[in-house]
Amino acid sequence: MRPENLTLSERERAAYQAGDYATAEMLAGLIDAESTCSVRPHIEEARGCFPAEDCLQSEIESLRALYKRLRGDNKAELQSIIEAMETRQTELWQSGEYGADELRQALEGMPE
């Protein structure tokens, strides 16, 4: 097979096998750079896909409006559902913030 028909990974492997370690290292660097360039846009896109802090707020407000019209056991049960949704909203937002921060750190560690 002609060298120009080989992928970078195949050229790197061939250079190592031939004992040309400098070329193999250079090719490994090109492979890393190529991978970084293809991954960076996806990480940047993913950072923007996490939920906002108030992601369930309109649903919670609707339940609060319903809560005002209810009486008795139904009202107490709805109150516990509202509290659970508020807790989940906070957990979801905190989890999203953690994920976005991890992605930010990954981007900072990547070469431009």
Q: Residue 24: what are its φ and ψ, rounded to 5°?
A: -60, -45
Residues 45 and 56 in one domain: no
| 26 and 78 fall within a common domain | no
Domain total for the chain? 2
State residue 67's pLDDT score: 95
In this structure, are 45 and 60 located in the same domain? no
| pLDDT string in tens for the chain (112-residue length) | 565 666 667 777 776 777 877 777 776 776 666 666 677 777 788 888 888 889 999 999 999 999 999 999 999 999 999 999 999 999 999 999 998 888 888 878 766 6
Contact assessment for residue 80 and residue 58, using Cβ atoms and an 8 Å cutoff = no
Q: Are residues 82 and 32 in the same domain?
A: no
pLDDT score of 87: 95
Structural domain span for residue 62: 52-112
pLDDT score of 40: 75
Q: Which residues make Cβ contacts (< 8 Å) with residue 111, sequence separation at least 6?
A: 33, 36
